[in-house]
Amino acid sequence: MKLHLKLTHRSRLLRPSCAALALVALALPARLPSAQAAPITITYLNQEQPIPLIQSTVNTFNQTHPNIHVVLQNLPFDQLFPQIEVRLGSGSSSPDVIDVDAPVTAAYAVQGFLTPLDSYFSKADLAQFVPASLSTSYYLGHLLAPPINGSSQLLYYNKDLLKKAGVPFPPNDVSKRLTWEQLVTNAKKAQVQAGKNVTAWGFVIDQIDRPYQLLPLPESLGGQPISKDGLHASGIVNSPAWIKAFTWYSNLFNTWKISPIGATPAQTPNLFSSGHAAYFWGGPWNVGTFQAAKGLHWGVAPTPYFAGGKAVTPNDSWHLGVNRHSAHIAAAAEFVRWLTVGPGNDIFVKGNGQVPSLLREITRINQDSAYATFPSNVLRLTSYEAQHTAIPRPVTPGFNEYQDILTRAFDNIRSGQSSKAALDAAAAQIDRAMAKYARAPH
Amino acid sequence: MSQESPRQTASTDARQTKPLRRWVRRNGGPIAGKALAYLALTVLSVVTLLPLLWSVASSFTPLNDIYKFAVPFSWHALLPTNVTLQAYQDLWASTYPRALFNTVLVCAVTVVAGILINSLAGFAFAVFNFPGKRVLFILVLITFLVPFEVLALPLFVIINTLHLDNSYQALILPALANGIVVFLFRQFFIDTPRELLEAARIDGLGWFGVYVRIVIPISTPVMVSAGLVLFLSQWQAFFWPLLVTNSPSYQMVQVALSTFSGQYVTKWNDIFAGSIIATIVPLVLLLTLQRYYVRTIARTGLTD
Amino acid sequence: MSRREWWVPYAFLLPAIVGLVIFRVVPTIYAIGRSFYAISFGLNPATVFVGSDNYTALFSDPTFWQSVRVTAVFNLIINPLQTTLALLLALLVSMRLRGIGVFRSIFFIPISISITVASIIWQLMLDPQSGLLNGLIEAVGLPPQSFLTSPNQALPSIILIASWIGVGYWMFFFIAGLNGIPPTLYEAAAMDGASSFASFVHITVPLLRRVIAFVLVADTTANFLLFAPVYILTHGGPQGSTDLLMYEAYNSDFVGLDVGRATAITTVLLASLLVVVGAQLLLLRSSER
List the A197-205 sheet strands across, edge first.
A192-194, A197-205, A277-282, A154-158, A298-302
Q: Nearest by CB to A14, from B157, B246, B255: name it.
A: B157
Q: Is C256 on the interface with A (CB under 8 A)?
A: yes
| Inter-residue contact C246 to C224 (CB < 8 Å) | yes
Residue B299 is predicted with a pLDDT of: 55
Chain C: closest CA distance from residue B71 (Å): 5
On whether the CB atoms of residues C163 and B104 are closer than 8 A, the answer is no
Please tell me which residue, A33 or B162, carries the higher pLDDT value. Answer: B162
Alpha-carbon distances of A284 from A155, A160, A408, B49, rounded to whole Å = 10, 21, 26, 38
Q: What is the pLDDT of residue B281?
A: 85
- Is the Cβ–Cβ distance between A39 and A66 less than 8 Å? yes
Smallest CA-to-CA distance from B188 within B231, B125, B110 is with B125
Q: CB atoms < 10 A from the CB of C183, how many?
A: 12
Peptide linkage before C238 cis (omega within 30 of 0): yes
Q: Does B64 touch chain A (CB under 8 A)?
A: yes
The answer to whether residue A179 scores a pLDDT higher than 60 is yes
Sign of CA dihedral A294, A295, A301, A304: negative
* Interchain contact, A432 vs C237, CB within 8 Å: no
Report A:197-256 residues touching B (Cβ under 8 A): 197-199
Tell me, yes or no, if C40 comes closer than 8 A to chain A by beta carbon: yes
Task: Note whether C157 and C237 are within 8 A (CB).
Answer: no
A24 shares a domain with A82 = yes
Q: Cβ(A330)–Cβ(A42) under 8 Å?
A: no
Among B64, B153, B161, beta carbon nearest to A16: B161
Per-residue pLDDT reduced to its tens digit, A193-221: 877 778 899 999 999 999 999 999 999 99
Q: Could you tell me which residue, B94 or B100, shows the higher pLDDT?
A: B100
- The parent domain of residue A158 ranges over 154-315+393-438
Question: What mean pLDDT, rounded, does chain C reach?
Answer: 88
How far is the C-alpha of C183 from the C-alpha of C173, rounded, in Å? 18
pLDDT score recorded for residue C215: 94
Residues A232 and A87 in one domain: no
Query: Using the 8-state DSSP alphabet, how is residue C178 labeled?
Result: H
Number of neighbouring beta carbons within 10 Å of residue A59: 12
Q: Which residue has the higher pLDDT, C255 or A302?
A: A302
**What secondary structure letter does DSSP report for C151?**
T
Let me know if residue A163 belongs to a domain: yes
Of A81, A432, A439, the CB nearest to C41: A439
Min Cα–Cα distance to chain C from B247, Å: 22
| CA nearest neighbour of A137 among A403, A430, A392, A408 | A392
Comparing B60 with A384, which gets the higher pLDDT? A384
The kind and range of the H/E element at A202 are strand A197-205
Residue type, A276: H
- Say whether B264 and A283 touch across the interface (CB within 8 A): yes
Calculate the alpha carbon distances from B145 to B148, C28, C243 in Å: 9, 10, 20
Rg (CA), chain C: 23
Distance between CA atoms of A211 and A242, rounded to whole angstroms?
12
The helix (H) or strand (E) run that includes residue C232 is none
Same domain flag for A213 and A330: no
Under the banding of pLDDT at 50, 70 and 90, the label for residue C256 is: confident
Q: How many Cβ pairs closer than 8 A exist between chain A and C?
A: 124
Give tens-digit pLDDT for C193-225.
877 788 888 888 888 888 999 999 999 999 999
CB contact under 8 A, C47 and A10: yes
Cα dihedral C260/C265/C271/C275 (nearest 10): 180
Q: Is B146 on the interface with C (CB under 8 A)?
A: yes
Rounded to the nearest 10 degrees, what angle do helices B168-176 and C8-20 cross at? 130
A6 part of a folded domain: no
User: How crowded is residue C108: how many other Cβ atoms within 10 Å of its Cβ?
Assistant: 23
A81 reaches C (C-beta below 8 A): yes
Judge residue A255's burial from the number of C-beta atoms within 10 Å of its C-beta, 0-12 exposed, 13-18 middle, 19 or more buried. exposed
Inform me whether the pLDDT recorded for C174 exceeds 90.
yes
Torsions phi, psi for C283 (to 5 deg): -60, -45
Please indicate, yes or no, whether residues A267 and A219 belong to a single structural domain of this protein. yes
Check pLDDT > 80 for residue A424: yes
Q: What is the mean pLDDT of residues A285-307?
A: 92
What's the pLDDT at A57?
Answer: 92
Instruction: Give the pLDDT of residue C181.
Output: 83
Is residue A13 within 8 Å of residue B157, measured between CB atoms?
A: yes
Residue B20 has pLDDT above 70, yes or no: no
- How would residue B280 be classed by pLDDT, with cut points 50, 70 and 90? confident
Dump pLDDT digits (tens) for C23-64: 999 999 999 999 999 888 877 788 889 999 999 999 998 889
Res. C11: pLDDT tops 50: yes
Band of pLDDT at residue B10, cut at 50, 70 and 90: very low
- pLDDT cut 90: percent of chain B above it: 24
Instruction: For chain A, give the mean pLDDT.
Output: 87
**SS3 (DSSP) at A114:** strand
C161 touches C119 (CB < 8 A): yes
Phi, psi of C135 (to 5 degrees): -60, -45
Compute the Cα dihedral for B145, B149, B153, B158 and give only its sign.
positive
* Domain coordinates in residue numbering, chain B: 95-258
Q: Mean pLDDT, to the nearest integer, of C162-179?
A: 90
Residue A348 confidence (pLDDT) above 80: yes
How far are the Cα atoms of A242, A258, C150 from residue A245, in angstroms, in the given order?
Answer: 5, 16, 22
For A141, the 3-state DSSP assignment is coil
List the beta bridge partners of residue B261: B266
What pLDDT does residue A21 have? 37
B2 pLDDT band, cuts 50/70/90, is very low
Contact A271, A204 (CB under 8 A): yes
pLDDT band at A167 (very low <50, low <70, confident <90, very high): very high
- Check CB contact under 8 Å for C31 and B151: yes
- With CA atoms as reference, report the closest residue to B106 among B13, B245, B300: B245
Give the lowest-confidence range in A5-9, A342-346, B124-128, B152-156: A5-9
Distance in angstroms (rounded) separating the CA atoms of residues A231 and C259: 19
Provide DSSP, A1-37: -HHHHH--STTGGGHHHHHHHHHHHHHHHHHSS-GGG
Among A246-250, C18-22, C269-273, C281-285, the range scoring the smallest mean pLDDT is C281-285
Tens digits of residue pLDDT in B43-84: 989 888 888 887 777 777 766 666 666 555 566 666 666 777
pLDDT band at B5 (very low <50, low <70, confident <90, very high): very low
Q: Is residue A387 part of a domain?
A: no
Q: Comparing A60-74, B105-119, B269-283, C24-38, which segment has the lowest mean pLDDT?
A: B269-283
Q: Of B117, B174, B272, which has the smallest distance from its Cβ to C23's Cβ? A: B174
Output the 3-class SS for chain B: CCCCCHHHHHHHHHHHCCHHHHHHHHHHHHHHHHHHHHHHHHHHHHHHHHHHHHHHHHHCCCHHHHHHHHCCCCHHHCCCCCCCCHHHHHHHHCCHHHHHHHHHHHHHHHHHHHHHHHHHHHHHHHHCCCCCHHHHHHHHHHHCCCCHHHHHHHHHHHHHHCCCCCCHHHHHHHHHCCHHHHHHHHHHHCCCCHHHHHHHHHCCCCHHHHHHHHHHHHCHHHHHHHHHHHHHHHHCCCHHHHHHCCCHHHCCHHHHHHCCECCCCECHHHHHHHHHHHHHHHHHHHHHHHHHHCCCECCCCCCC
Contact C196, C208 (CB under 8 A): no
Domain count, chain A: 2
Domain CATH code at residue A350: 3.40.190.10
Q: At what angle do helices B96-127 and B168-176 cross, to 10 degrees?
A: 30
Amino acid at B243: L
Q: Which amino acid is at C122?
A: W
Under a CB-based contact definition with an 8 Å cutoff, are residues B279 and B102 in contact? no
Output the pLDDT for position C225. 93
When comparing pLDDT for A51 and B285, which is higher?
B285
What mean pLDDT comes out for the span B93-106? 89
State the pLDDT confidence band at B212, using cuts at 50, 70 and 90. Answer: confident
Flag whether residue B32 sits within 8 Å of chain C, measured between CB atoms.
Answer: no
Residue in chain C lying closest to A418 (CA): C239
Span C134-161, pLDDT tens digits:
877 877 888 888 898 888 999 999 999 9
Q: What pLDDT is stored for residue B216 in this prediction?
A: 86
Q: Per CATH, which fold does C56-286 belong to?
A: MetI-like fold (1.10.3720)
d(CA B29, CA C56): 62
- Per-residue pLDDT, A189: 95
Residue spans per domain, chain C = 56-286
Residues C236, A401: contact at Cβ < 8 Å? Answer: no
Q: How would residue A28 be classed by pLDDT, with cut points 50, 70 and 90?
A: very low
**Chains in contact with C, counting 3 or more C-beta pairs less than 8 Å apart as contact:** A, B
**CATH code for the domain defined by B95-258:** 1.10.3720.10
CA A268 to chain centre: 17
What CA–CA distance (Å, rounded) separates C269 from C258? 17
pLDDT grade, residue B101 (50/70/90)? very high
